[in-house]
A and B are shown apart, each in its own frame.
Chain A
Amino acid sequence: MAEPQRARPKPTPETQHFWDGAKAGELRLQRCDACAHVYFPPRPFCPSCASRKVSIFKASGKGFLYSYVINQRPAAPGFTPPYAIAVVELAEGPRMMSNIIDCPQTPEALELDMKLEVAFEALDDKITLPVFRPAKG
């Protein structure tokens, strides 16, 4: 029997640019051309002012650890517990769920507000997932 696989995202027309960006090593966000609001997850209009004039841009990839759990059980397919499920607040404002790599998955190592930077993990030849690691320096 094949190893159980981590859940694979399936892009929609409105999110394709995000996944294309991740594959190219870019974390892409959207900014409203009318009111400058930066938002996530992707959609072709501004959830703050409803303008349809929005632009895609490459985010800095910098952020901090907003909150997390260290999941023990039940573990999701493809994951070996304990593993942290984190929410990262990006420098540009939006938050996103992620995992923290290159860091022990312990309360001691995972300090709230610690600085993080984006990294990319290829799940297969179609999907690359943005994840985060402790920022250097």
Chain B
Amino acid sequence: MRSNQVAVVGAAETTELGVIPNVSQLQLHADAALNAIADAGLKLSDIDGFATAVETPQQVCHYLGIKPTWVDGTSVGGCSFMLHVRHAAAAIEAGLCKTVLITHAESGKSMIGKAPRSTAPDSLNGQFEAPYGVYGPPSMFPIPVLRFMKTYGITHEQLASVAVVQREWAAKNPRAMMKDPITVADVLNSRMIAYPFRLLQCCLVTDGGGALILTSADRAKDFPRKPVYIMGTGESVETPMVSQMETFNSSRAFKTAGPLAFKEAGIAHKDVDHLMIYDAFAHLPLFGLGDLGFMPHEETGQFIADGNTRPGGKLPLNTNGGGLSYMHSGMYGMYALQESVRQMRGIAPAQVAGAKISVCHGVGGMFAASGTIVFTNER
């Protein structure tokens, strides 16, 4: 795909984030969509392409009254929205549609109008993982961590520093769920969830949503907001079973999606002003920094512990506070994309001064899938 031919012209989160017991999941989709439509200065009838995950496109389109000529229901977990951006950009370039709306919403905390997750006993996960006591992401996602730590010499303190640094970013963000400062000791003394991870190394569980609107770069200049261009994209999947990853020393999906996006954008790592790495759990930024090629995995823990990703550091990372401190409804990728767009528009609560290139890297499932988007505000 060619760089900078498609742009984000509308972006918004739900009116509220956090605990929203009075709104169903489907209505959260609508709330985010209506906010994004207003942000772009459009009418619902202008939307001719639509993408969402978990909920079906027909469900959300009917609820909103959208009549699309292009839909994408790719649902590979929390990075589905990165894949939607990639697919939408390709569809717009191919002339299949002109204006795409992508929505995410999840009543992850209040569970209003949300089907509970279940694993069929005759699925491969149901046969070969569920009987051993996995029960939700905290029992599965950290399974690779001890191997990763041993291979690369990563310490518990370094993994705790991920949460500490992200709380520093969250403190600058009025919409962040958790804003009080924490220390490495606080993290290491928080309640044990699944050794080696404690409460403060696991993501929040909240309600919310977000929506994006994309159109061709040629049209984008006529919209009220500063266009944010899609410079590069990548995607991949590996396995739905964490136990069956090729290795616990990296993610094959990350190592495929990330470099694809960098190559398409034609950028080097030194060009990146702002970085989002989906942090459902504290090890993901370490996997991401290594798998995306910013540095050898061995150096990732010390890099974060040394403050390089904190406010004022040389590689601002997860500047909204991340899934650990900002919000995490279950499929966090949309919120990472929203923060990249805010940074490229220059309106983020913790704005990185002069940022021109933002890389937004997502994970789906337990390293099951990945999507990477490189954004820029210069064409």
Contacts and interface: CB of A to CB of B under 8 A. Distances in A.
Q: How large is the interface on B (under 10, 10 to 19, 20 to 34, 35 or more residues)?
A: 35 or more
A72 to B, nearest CB: 5
B147 A71 contact: no
Interface residue SS majority, chain B = mixed
Interface string A52-91: 0000000000000011111111111111001101110000
A68 B138 CA distance: 12
B128 to A, nearest CB: 5
Interface in B115-158: 119-122, 124, 126-136, 138-140, 142-147, 150
A9 B131 contact: yes
Interface string B176-220: 000000000000000111111100000000000000000000000
A101 to B, nearest CB: 11
A41 B195 contact: no
B310 to A, nearest CB: 28
B243 interface: yes
Contacts of A68: 143, 146
A74 B283 CA distance: 20
B130 A69 contact: no
Given A41-B244, A73-B193, A9 B132 contact: no
Interface residue SS majority, chain A = loop
Contacts of B375: none
B254 interface: no
A69 B132 contact: no
Contacts of A107: 195-196
Given A10-B122, A41-B124, A97 B195 contact: no
Interface string B103-120: 000000000000000011
A15 interface: yes
Contacts of B335: none
B132 to A, nearest CB: 5
Nearest to B146: A67
Contact of B146 (A7, A15, A112): A112
B248 A72 contact: no
Contact of A10 (B126, B194, B248): B126
B133 A71 contact: yes
Contacts of A10: 120-122, 126-127
A97 B132 contact: yes
A67 B132 contact: no
Contacts of B197: 69
Nearest to B121: A10
A87 B246 CA distance: 12
Contact of B133 (A15, A75, A95): A75
Interface in A1-31: 6-12, 15, 19
Contact of B195 (A11, A74, A75, A82): A82
Contacts, number: 123
A96 B243 CA distance: 6
Contact of A9 (B121, B136, B150, B196): B121
Contacts of A79: 133, 135
B119 A7 contact: yes
A72 B146 contact: no
A67 B194 contact: no
A97 to B, nearest CB: 4
Contact of B121 (A8, A41, A83, A86): A8
A86 B144 CA distance: 10
Contacts of B193: 72-73
A129 interface: yes
A99 B145 contact: no
A99 B133 contact: yes
Contacts of B145: 67, 69
A7 B195 contact: no
Nearest to B141: A69
Contacts of B146: 67-69, 112
Contact of B248 (A19, A66, A86, A98): A66
Given A71-B139, A71-B194, A112-B147, A12 B122 contact: yes
Interchain residue pairs A-B with the least CB separation, the first 7: A76-B135, A67-B147, A70-B195, A9-B127, A97-B243, A7-B130, A10-B122
29 contacts: A8-B131, A9-B126, A9-B127, A10-B121, A10-B122, A12-B127, A15-B127, A41-B241, A66-B147, A67-B143, A68-B143, A69-B142, A69-B143, A69-B197, A70-B194, A70-B195, A71-B194, A72-B195, A74-B138, A76-B130, A76-B134, A85-B140, A85-B194, A87-B248, A97-B128, A97-B132, A97-B241, A99-B132, A112-B146
Interface of A: 6-12, 15, 19, 40-41, 66-79, 82-83, 85-87, 95-99, 107, 112, 123, 127, 129
